[in-house]
Structure 1
Amino acid sequence: MLQYGFPISLRDDVMEVIRLLPKKTYHNLSNELLETIEYIQDDYVVNIPYRLYFKDNSDQYIDNLTEQQKMILHCIYSRNCDGYVRQKHLHSLLLMDYEEWAIPYIVKICDEYIIEILEMTYVILKEQDTEKIKRFCMENIEGFCKSYNRMISYWNEFYRDRYNNFHQYIGRKLFRECFGYSRSLERRKK
């Protein structure tokens, strides 16, 4: 299932990384029959898992992986059920010269409820050229607009009291400045 979150050309590297993932999961939850999120990227359908439950044992073998395999590993663990694991691997991914195929993982994690991940992502991406990310978001307008609205709902539920001016909220800044969201996108949805 995890191999469908990456281009076919990466299949051998993806399978090598999957082979290293632990069998032990948090709360003995299964990673089978996963809910996925579908994106289009360069006319290729990408299905990334909504959540994974692998324990993070990557420190044991990451130094032995190629750069591409490390990137794959960071993408996979960015979908982990543990927010600290997601943040750790997203941070590592953002500091790499990440490939375009990693972009769906970066965008997806930013519609979630952990503000520290939004803050970290914004601090790193605001210093980068994010045109490739913006292009990906435009290619997936409907899903991207859902992600933006989901980010707003988490702000409303958890952070509205602390950040009462939504225009200054880090999630809004990230989506607008780094991902290219604008209100006009809502009208362009199919």
Structure 2
Amino acid sequence: MPLTLTSRPAAYLGRWGEDTETARAGRLWGGGVGHRAVSSPYAQLVQPTSDNTASLITAFPVELAGDAEAVLAIMPASRLRPAAPFSVVVQGRRVCIPGRLYNEEPQADAVATLSRRRQQLLHCLYSRHSDGWVRQRHLSEIVDSEDPWVIPFVVQLVGEYVVEILVDICEGLRDLGTQGTRAHLAYGQFLVDNPAFFARTQRRVVSYWSCYYRSAYASFSGYLGCTLLDLLRSAASDRTGRPWPSLAPAVGTRVDGHC
């Protein structure tokens, strides 16, 4: 089955916009027939708050704090806090990125007042939005950037469940597999600096394939998430000079995915 922007399995239609409702109601969501219903990883972590933006400054290195504050100033308020933050190292500095963001998008005229760098930070933040369509739209604005603070936002999306977003990442990172390119070097360094994060990303790719996409791609090697992991491992391997561990299932191995 070819990977296109319309190739999402039928059992998966409608899932993109469910994160917000899942978080609010704490209900279960699952795959199609034969898939075990699973609880949203964010449902237990979302809390109402009157000030949900201050923590988002830490999603970027400290030297970008002023730019991040300008971005937060135009973002509409949300009654829900950002959920499930994850921590990674960017150029030797630890940042804390939201797993999900619930703010509505700012008006286009407000975004237009931001500098190019500040617009980039805004797109990074909204690539963590609870709505998959919003995530994809903002990813398209940053996926070809080699700026080190952008990379964790892209890698996090590799480990998520929307296959159309994987298509966009693969198309946007055409140089990722080419030694010596800026993308190859930048992604390789980020992965070397964050081995636990990359290991979790690998496990999540396998899990979502097993949970939602095995009917479309019987072999993990035929799934685009596997292709992206191969490219990322290649970049990390070239950075370290040794093979990077693969957590992909061996051919014939039974995999019971839990998303």
TM-score, length basis structure 2:
0.65
CA contact (8 A) 1:122 1:178 kept: no
1:110-149 correspondence to structure 2 within 5 Å: 110-127=158-175, 129=181, 130=183, 131-149=185-203
Distance 1:179 1:47 in 2: 23
Distance 1:58 1:49 in 2: 22
Give 1:41's aligned amino acid: V
Count of aligned positions? 181
CA contact (8 A) 1:133 1:179 kept: no
How far did residue 185 of structure 1 move? 2.5
Q: Which residue is equivalent to 1:100?
A: 148
Call closer, same or farther: CA 1:184–1:7 in 2, change over 3 Å: closer
Aligned-residue RMSD, C-alpha:
2.0
Give 1:52's aligned amino acid: L
Q: Which residue is equivalent to 1:109?
A: 157
Q: Which residue is equivalent to 2:125?
A: 76
Distance 2:157 2:69 in 1: 23
1:3-14 correspondence to structure 2 within 5 Å: 3-14=57-68
Distance 1:36 1:78 in 2: 14
Deviations 1:5-42 (A, max 9, x none): 1111111110000011001x4xxx5126x421010122
Give 1:3's aligned amino acid: I
Give 2:245's aligned amino acid: L
Say which one has the larger Rg.
2
Structure 1 range deviating more: 97-106 or 76-85: 97-106
CA contact (8 A) 1:5 1:46 kept: yes
How far did residue 136 of structure 1 move? 0.3
CA contact (8 A) 1:126 1:178 kept: no
Deviations 1:111-148 (A, max 9, x none): 00000000110111024532201210111111101111
Q: Which residue is equivalent to 1:46?
A: 95
How far did residue 178 of structure 1 move? 4.1
Give 1:116's aligned amino acid: E
CA contact (8 A) 1:62 1:70 kept: yes
Distance 1:10 1:175 in 2: 29
Segments of 5+ residues of structure 2 without an aligned counterpart are 1-54, 238-242, 248-259
How far did residue 158 of structure 1 move? 0.6
Give 1:64's aligned amino acid: T
Identity in percent = 29
Give 2:161's aligned amino acid: Y
How far did residue 109 of structure 1 move? 1.4
Q: Which residue is equivalent to 1:30?
A: 80
Give 2:154's aligned amino acid: I
Give 2:214's aligned amino acid: R
CA contact (8 A) 2:233 2:244 kept: no
Distance 2:137 2:159 in 1: 17
1:84-95 correspondence to structure 2 within 5 Å: 84-95=133-144
Segments of 5+ residues of structure 1 without an aligned counterpart are none
Which is helix-richer, 1 or 2?
A: 1
Call closer, same or farther: CA 1:151–1:58 in 2, change over 3 Å: farther
Query: 1:100 is paired with a residue of what secondary structure?
Result: coil
